Every structure is written in structure tokens, then in C-alpha cells.
Amino acid sequence: MKQSQEEPGSAPPPGELVRMADVLPLLGRPGLRWAGRVLERLLALDIINRVHAAAVAEAEPRAFLTRALEAFGVRYEVDPAQLLRIPSEGPVVVVANHPFGGVDAIILTALLAGMRGDARVMANHLLLRIPQVRPVLIGVDPFGGPEAARRNVRGMQEALDHLMDGGLLGVFPSGTVSHLQLPRGVVEDPPWTQHLFRLVKRSGATVVPVFFEGRNSALFQAAGLVHPLLRTALIPRETARRRGEVVRLAVGRPLPKARIEGFDDAARFTRFLRVQTYLLGERKAAAPAASPKPAGRRGREPEPIAPPEPVAALAAEVARIPAEDQLVQEGDFRVFVARWSRDPALLREIGRLREETFRAAGEGSGRARDLDGFDRHYLQIVLWDDARQCVAGGYRVARVDRVLRARGRRALYTATLFRFRPGFLRELGPAMELGRSWIRLAYQRKHNALALLWRGIAALVVREPEACVLFGPVSISRDYQPLSRGLIVSFLRETLLDRGLASAVKPVKPYRLQGRAARLAREAGRAVRTIDDVSLLVSEIEADGKGVPILFRHYLRLHSIVLSFNVDPAFADVVDGLLLTDLRRTDPKILQRFMGAEGLARFRAFH
């Protein structure tokens, strides 16, 4: 709607909300009123007035807005479980994209007013002409000019006071409707205002993002290219055009005060909120990937997983593990080294459980057991549950220098995924290659399972302290959406890539992200600060709400670096990040957690 000659907040003419004569007084003259009526029809102002007349009898704001939506013939859908993410008390800012310019404001105001009695929404000051909604609106002026600046200062102060009183505030941070952004050719909000940062920081409010699905018509986008006021004039027409539609919206995970305090830059904070909001539109209702493709058997179904090994056979082999291969004992759990030549039943069971675990994560070899030629000369770090007499998890480990001397570079698993500059592996010295990390499904919610395995790895390092460099692939499965994988890879490349060492490593099949997903990943990369930020964004995309794989978080705590990324078609197209960890650079407090005080002392004495 265009600004009238009346002061905002003054009552509209009886039965009407807006007339062309209010916008262009010339059209109110005798002989020109017909032109005003024609324009009102072209811009759908007559429909807006009929909707207003249908709802005007409702005095309460939410009832008025609900009746207006009914008169427009518009419904909205939102997951009731997601609405619970909006706190029921305390200062809260709900931010939303602004794709329509009319219906979205009505829906957000009706929604929030129905949830909390202290809800208010920052909206175009012209809407204050409607008496019924004045109690739930804070007027702002998007049209510019000195008077607009003064009005907006008052509006911002009113919004801050409302939050300081513990209220709920809805905001469209773009300040104007989504439109075609050139030269990118996408329809989305213009840059969001950074004033939002001040509101949130000063009030200590929790922030909750809301995403509206949809966009205005091609005519609307084209009109905006001619002049922004043409676009604004068409908003009533676009609102009327939504008759019979269902507007879908999604509510994201809240950003609590503690998370917000980590931001000290208004631009980055605003970009992060914007990215989080738009990523809500990328969530798919169903799992993104089909069944994993079997390794080396394209076009065939995966083999049935092998039956379990007899418990007695497994227990007998565990009982024969020599003392030098025993690594950790804690309660009912122990960690030890298993070997191909000595422990055949354990190796078969490890292969079976690896395949079962990896398939559940959208990975897997497609064979009955995930065993290959590398298992013959690699060591298996095994987590064993004495109480249940079963294998609970494992790692595969090899001393790189020993494998190179005895068998050559091709005997290293990582050499099937990456090409190394001549001499690079020897330059690493007596490093350990780690891979095939897994934890049995029944133990994945036990927080100590991964820690116990790493205590076993640390025990090996303490025994052979010269092998202080660990490296190997860490995977992101096809169970993640392509955009989620892109977000994780982009963040790791930007923050952890060692460009010097990375120049010595080339992936066999490079990972590439293209199109819309690549653009969104780049935008997110400019907004995130930490792996926790990335994990929050990933959880907004994934239907099951999962975040960054836990193993990546673990390696980040060890101060690992990234060398490269590869796509492995032999293992269900997982994206493997090649990570390198020099334990001499790891925080001693973290090392002590895995090595123990005595083990850490021995390790540091060596180095």
C-alpha cells in the first residue's frame, strides 16, 4: 500500500481501508474518480477493502487477522512440534523472510498473537491505520526520508522496550519484500538490517527463525526492475492472488542467549540468522539417499549381511589375546588389538558389524562382511563388552613407515583414495593411519564408547611415542543431504585446510558442489564461526535433525588439520576428508584424558 495523506494510525474511511484518492488526491476530483476505480481494480485494492469490511467487526487482533485470512481464502500450515521451539516466556525475537509482503505479515502476526499475549510484530506503519491490529504492531517506515528515519528510531526504541519487558517480537529483517536479486538471478530478501543485532544483544533475547515458502509472481519481479514503487504498488494484487493457497512455514531451532554472546560482529550475526532461516526451506521430509550402491558391483543389490559368529568362538579368541595386545580395561569393557592371522572369528565378526553399522548410516561396501585385503596386515582396535560377550566397536590402524618398508605405498588404504606427492608419506615419519571407525548401533548412545576406543589408540601411541602423527579418512555419508555435506566441507576447507601440506595430496575423485547448493554453502561459510554453528545449520536441513558427524568434532578438539576431500564410489559415495593430527600440538589436558597422567608424562618426555 502507498502512503496516504492521513497520519498513520488515523481511522480509514468507513467500510474501506485504502482508496486511490488517498494515494493520488487528483483522482478524487469529479471526472477522474472513474480512473481511481479502474486503478483500484487493477491493483486489487477493491479486494483488500472487501476483506477489511468482512473482518472489521472483529475487535480482538488475532480474531481480526484470522477472519481476514479466511476472507482472502488463505490457509497456513506449520508443524505443531516446531511451534514448541518458540519459548512461552521471556524476551524472544522471531525473525522471518518476507516473500509476499502482505500475507506473510498477517500470518506471522496471527500466529504469534495466538501463542503469547505479549506478542508484537514490527510492520509497515501504514498498517496502524487498522484499529484492530494496532495493539500487536510496532510501526516502521520502509520508504525512506527524514520523517521515516525519525519514525524508525521511535519504532526501534519501542521494540527494545518491549523486549526488555520480556515480550515476544516478530521481525522481518529485510524491511521490504523479497524480489529478484541481480545479477544472481534469485528471488530472495535483500540484505537484512544489522539493527537486529543491537536489539538482541541489549535485550538478551532468544532468537527463533521462521521460513515462509513461496514467492510473488513473475510480473511482480519484473515490475520491481522498472521501479521499486511499482513492486510495492502490486503487493495488494499479489495478496489477493493467493486465494485458495496454503502457505507453508517452518520454525527453526532457537538461538539462546549463550550462543548469541559468541557473536561480536553485527554483520556476521545477521548473515548467520539469514542463512539459518533460508536453510529451513531446504529440509526434505524423506531421507535423501537411496540404498547405498554396493562396492564394485554397480547395478546389483547389496549382499545380505553375514550371520553372527558363535559367541563361544569369539569369547575363546578374546581369552587368548596376549598381554602385549591388551590396551584398556574399564568396568565391563576392554580394548585390545586383534590380528587377522590370530583371531579369525573376531575378524569375521568385525567385518559383519562394520557392514551393518555403515549401511545404517547410508554407507557400506555392499558385501556380506566389510573386509578387504588391507585387513590382513592392519591391526584392529577392538572394543569388547565382557558383560554381553560381544564386540561393541573398533578402528583399523597401521604404522605407515612399517607398511611402506614391507609392502609399499599401495598397501596403504588411503592410497586408494588420494594420490600423494613422492616422498610425502616418508616425510610424515612413523605415522599411524587410522580408518574404518565404527561403533555398534546399540552402543552409539553410550558416550564412553568412542572415548574408550581412543584410549586404546592413545595406549598404542604411549607404547610407540615416535608415532605421534595420526592421519586417515573421516567420512560424511550419503545419508546427509548434498547441501549438508557441502556446508561441512566448506567450513573445514576454510578453517582447517593446511594449504602447504594439501599441495602434496590429490583426491582420486574430487568432491565438488554445484548450483544452488554451492551458493548456499558459500553464503553459510561467510556466516559461521565454529563447528557448532555448522552443526546447527546442518540440523535445520536434515529431516532427522542430526548435526555434524561426531568424529569430525572429535578430531577438531585434537587440533587436526584437513588435507583433502575425496568421493569414494566403492563405499556408497561417501565424502572422505583426509585429516592429519600431530599429537604434539594437541592440548595436554585432552591428551591426558586419553593417555592418563603417567602415559602423558612418558609421551612428553620422549618429545
Q: pLDDT for 535-547, tens place per residue? A: 999 999 998 999 9
What pLDDT sits at residue 603?
97
Q: What would the mean pLDDT of 445-465 be, rounded to a whole number?
A: 95
Asked whether the predicted pLDDT for residue 441 surpasses 80, the reply is yes
Secondary structure (3-state) at 266: helix
Q: Is residue 19 part of a domain?
A: no
Asked whether the predicted pLDDT for residue 180 surpasses 70, the reply is yes
Q: How does residue 286 score in pLDDT terms, banded at 50, 70 and 90? A: very low
Asked whether the predicted pLDDT for residue 4 surpasses 70, the reply is no
What pLDDT sits at residue 525?
85
Show the domain range for 243.
74-282
The model's pLDDT over 263-279, given as tens digits with 9 standing for 90+, comes to 989 999 999 999 999 99
Q: What would the mean pLDDT of 446-458 be, rounded to a whole number?
A: 94
Higher confidence at residue 14 or residue 356? Answer: 356
Q: pTM for this structure?
A: 0.83
What pLDDT sits at residue 152?
82
- The candidate with the shortest Cα–Cα distance to 127, out of 194, 68, 198, is 68
Domain boundary among the residues 282, 305, 321 is at 282
How confident is the prediction for the chain on average, in pLDDT? Answer: 88
Asked whether the predicted pLDDT for residue 38 surpasses 70, the reply is no
Give the C-alpha separation, 154 to 151, whole Å. Answer: 5
Grid cell 505479515 is found at 105
Q: How does residue 143 score in pLDDT terms, banded at 50, 70 and 90? A: low
Yes or no: say if 163 and 93 are a contact pair by the CB < 8 Å rule. yes
- The candidate with the shortest Cα–Cα distance to 189, out of 211, 204, 162, is 211
Asked whether the predicted pLDDT for residue 129 surpasses 70, the reply is yes
What pLDDT sits at residue 128?
80
Q: Is residue 50 part of a domain?
A: no
Q: Buried b / exposed e across 501-532, counting CB within 10 Å, b at 16+?
A: bbebbebeeebebeeebeebbebbbebbbebe
Higher confidence at residue 42 or residue 414? Answer: 414
Q: Is residue 380 part of a domain?
A: no
Q: What would the mean pLDDT of 426-437 be, rounded to a whole number?
A: 94
Number of domains in the chain: 2
- The candidate with the shortest Cα–Cα distance to 552, out of 412, 396, 418, 437, is 437
Asked whether the predicted pLDDT for residue 28 surpasses 70, the reply is no
Q: Buried b / exposed e across 133-157, counting CB within 10 Å, b at 16+?
A: beebbbbbbbbeeeeeeebbeebbe
Domain boundary among the residues 247, 282, 317 is at 282
Asked whether the predicted pLDDT for residue 15 surpasses 60, the reply is no
Higher confidence at residue 273 or residue 129? Answer: 273
The DSSP element (H or E) to which 337 belongs, if any, is strand 333-338
Domain boundary among the residues 282, 309, 327 is at 282
What pLDDT sits at residue 23?
52
Q: How does residue 288 score in pLDDT terms, banded at 50, 70 and 90? A: very low
Do residue 269 and residue 405 come from a single domain? no
Q: Is residue 317 part of a domain?
A: no
Q: How does residue 141 score in pLDDT terms, banded at 50, 70 and 90? A: confident
Q: Which residues pair with 113 in a beta bridge?
A: none
Q: Is residue 560 part of a domain?
A: yes
Cis preceding-peptide flag for 254 (omega within 30 of 0): no
Do residue 123 and residue 263 come from a single domain? yes
What pLDDT sits at residue 130?
81
Nine cell digits for residue 276: 539459518
Q: Is residue 369 part of a domain?
A: no
Q: Is residue 194 part of a domain?
A: yes
Asked whether the predicted pLDDT for residue 59 surpasses 80, the reply is no
Higher confidence at residue 30 or residue 306? Answer: 306
Do residue 432 and residue 574 come from a single domain? yes
Asked whether the predicted pLDDT for residue 101 surpasses 70, the reply is yes
The model's pLDDT over 525-582, given as tens digits with 9 standing for 90+, comes to 889 999 999 999 999 999 899 999 999 999 999 999 999 999 999 888 999 999 999 9
Do residue 457 and residue 594 come from a single domain? yes
Asked whether the predicted pLDDT for residue 229 surpasses 90, the reply is no
> Mean pLDDT lowest for which of 13-22, 57-66, 488-497?
13-22
Nine cell digits for residue 12: 480509514
> Mean pLDDT lowest for which of 171-180, 280-289, 399-408, 451-460?
280-289
Q: What would the mean pLDDT of 26-51 be, rounded to a whole number?
A: 59
What pLDDT sits at residue 6?
39
Do residue 264 and residue 408 come from a single domain? no
Q: What would the mean pLDDT of 147-164 be, rounded to a whole number?
A: 88
Asked whether the predicted pLDDT for residue 177 surpasses 60, the reply is yes
The model's pLDDT over 230-262, given as tens digits with 9 standing for 90+, comes to 888 888 888 888 888 999 999 999 998 888 998
Asked whether the predicted pLDDT for residue 5 surpasses 70, the reply is no
Beta strands in 455-554 (DSSP E): 469-476, 505-507
Do residue 102 and residue 242 come from a single domain? yes
Asked whether the predicted pLDDT for residue 295 surpasses 80, the reply is no
Q: Is residue 292 part of a domain?
A: no
* Cα 140 versus chain centre, distance: 31
What pLDDT sits at residue 36?
55
